Chains A and B, each alone.
Chain A
Amino acid sequence: MVNLKIKQIKQELSYEILVIPAVVLFTIFSVLPLLGGLFLSFTDWDGLSFNFKFVGIENYINAFTVSDVFLISFEHTLFIAAVTTILFTILAIPLAVILDSKIPFTKFFRAAFFFPSVPSALVVGYMWSFMLSSSSYGFVNTILGNFGISPINWTGDPTLAFLSIIVVQLWGWTGWHAVIYIANLQSIPTEYYEAAKIDGANIIQSFKYVTLPLLTPAMSMSILFSITGAMKIYDIVYALTGGGPGTSTYVVVQAILKEGINLGKYGMANAASIVLFLVILVITLIQQKVMSRREEGMT
């Protein structure tokens, strides 16, 4: 009996050898930093000595009261997240419907709309900084110049800088979101449209009462990726506006890197990192809850 049990454990252990490398690397590079960051966010550790004491939630309070850098960067990031998510949804659904229809070259069109999401976001950001430049080589201003509009400093004004970031995000990711919707559209049976037509529904009605409700799985996925992606935004902003003019387009990751690594304010930067993690966690959990509830509702 005991022998059998030992044999069984031995067998299970011979399987678990396979898990070890992944567990070690995952623990060192993901779990340890998360727990370490959480721990340090409650201490006054200065990054040098091992003398530190617990300060409770002081870092969390300081991060949002001592200077406004984290507060405004969270505001900016949430603003970008909200605006881009709404616009992705508004633009990607019609785009998906068109790209799923029987127009010619759909394969080429899909690839063309998708491709901007493929290259590095940093290079895309720099590419657009040339596009939007107010120097004589700036593409957008040259086009506007042909209509007699004098050059606009797209990244020099806070409102226009935000507009630029949002436009570049839309340019880069609308096609990506459309691909999610296309996959969903292809799963809707044709019979539904035929039934709607027999019932006398016109093109707008069948879109509203057949297509849209059945697109909710894709919509919730697209919205989740859009929000969490925007919360983590960094490369594009770094390349396009550098957070400027001043700090008017500063984003969370930028503030964490600057305060934490450049200025050595580890406590506050760790506190802000944990807040960022929690925001993303909450959004993800809400999305999963909504999804599972919807699945229950369907069955």
Chain B
Amino acid sequence: MSITKMHYKDKKNVLGYILTFVVLLAVLVICMPFYYIVVNTFKTMQDATFHPISLPGRITLDNYINALKIMNFFRSFSNNIIITFFTVLFSVFICSAAAYPIARRKTKLNSFLKFYFVSGLMVPLQAIIIPLYLVMKSMHFVNSFHGIILLYIGTGCAFNVFLYQGFVKTIPYDIEESALIDGCSPIRIYWSIVLPLMQPITATVIVYQAMITWNDFLSALLFLQSSKLQTMVLAVNSNIGSFATDWSNLICMMVLTILPVFIFFIFMQKYIIKGLTSGAVKG
């Protein structure tokens, strides 16, 4: 509870009303750009160009029909889905598996591995992008889904392993111990006991890895040059670059790109904010 709560009680409703009003104004300012790009997508080109702020006089869907075609929406959308789905899926299994022995078995090797992954937290993708480009080229990973998926998993590893190993420590050891005495193999224990118990942190990993992968521009720009492999962000970028198309189509593409993220946010908001406030997010 904070200071305004008390004083709000003290001075009855006046302060509360003023604050609500101020925040409401600020929210309007925050929403303005979204209003602007959404409202103009339903206008004719002329209407949008000369009356950008007003509501549409005559609603048209032509812009969306054009935009879907120009950005090859269904292809770029499914490319995004494929890349994000497999990156998240493999990240969850690979990183939770690695975190389990690192957090559980107190050996020299494991404390080294912990240090190895944690130091990766301080290596930003942007600072290794040139050698990464060389690695991708020499392995013939440029212009392939498996290449970029492996890249996303590899560059996300440090953070995901860090999250998982922190969580493993909070899981009580008793169940594993009795399974071990019963002759269960470590892989079996990981798979049928530890992995299901990791569910809360898996939610955080899924949400963040999905957002990072879905929105990525830098790696996608360098490693998905073929137009067949374009993601939605790349499709927006390449069409804006050419600027020949009229702007109503371009803002439609933006709305189409933001919409899936918006829907995701509505449903996953709880996990996004929880992941952030548990102090566990790398920028």
Q: Which residues of A contact B (CB under 8 A)?
A: 11-12, 14-19, 21-23, 25-26, 28-34, 36-37, 40, 47, 95, 97-105, 109-116, 118-123, 126-128, 130-131, 135-139, 142-143, 171, 175-176, 179-180, 182-183, 185-186, 188, 190, 193-194, 197, 203, 206-207, 210-211, 221, 224-225, 228-229, 231-232, 234-235, 238-239, 252-253, 256-257, 260-261, 266, 269-270, 273-274, 276-277, 280-281, 284
Contact = CB atoms under 8 A, between A and B. Distances in A.
A190 B127 contact: no
Interface of B: 1-9, 16, 19-20, 22-23, 26-27, 30-33, 36-37, 40, 48-50, 52-53, 94-95, 97-98, 100-102, 104-105, 107, 109, 113, 116-117, 120, 122-135, 150-151, 153-155, 157-158, 161, 185-187, 190, 211, 214-218, 222, 233, 236-237, 240, 247, 250-251, 254, 257-258, 261-262, 264-265, 269, 272-273, 276-277, 279, 281, 283
A269 B95 CA distance: 31
A150 to B, nearest CB: 17
Contacts of B50: 136-137
B52 A137 contact: yes
A279 to B, nearest CB: 9
Contacts of B153: 25, 29
A193 B187 contact: no
A119 B253 CA distance: 13
Given A16-B101, A273-B127, A29 B155 contact: yes
B102 A100 contact: no
B151 A130 contact: no
Q: Which of A15, A36, A142 lies at the interface centre, i.e. has the most chain B CB atoms within 10 A of its CB?
A: A15
Contact of A119 (B49, B127, B258): B258
A70 to B, nearest CB: 13
Contact of A260 (B117, B130, B214): B130
A194 to B, nearest CB: 8
Nearest to A133: B247
Nearest to B32: A139
A99 B23 contact: yes
Contacts of B95: 22
A113 B127 contact: no
Contact of B135 (A32, A180, A231): A32
**A interface, over-half SS:** helix
Nearest to A285: B122
Contacts of A235: 217-218
Given A14-B185, A113-B27, A256 B98 contact: no
Contacts of A261: 130, 133, 222
A188 B124 contact: no
A114 B151 CA distance: 28
Given A19-B97, A142-B52, A225-B283, A121 B3 contact: no
A55 B133 CA distance: 23
A228 B124 contact: yes
A25 B2 contact: no
B102 A19 contact: yes
Nearest to A14: B186
Nearest to B258: A119
B130 A127 contact: no
Contact of B30 (A31, A116, A228): A116
Nearest to A129: B240
B16 A102 contact: yes
Contact of A112 (B30, B40, B127, B133): B30
A270 B157 contact: no
Contacts of A102: 4-5, 8-9, 16
A118 B37 CA distance: 17
A284 B116 CA distance: 17
Nearest to A126: B240
Contact of B130 (A110, A115, A273): A273
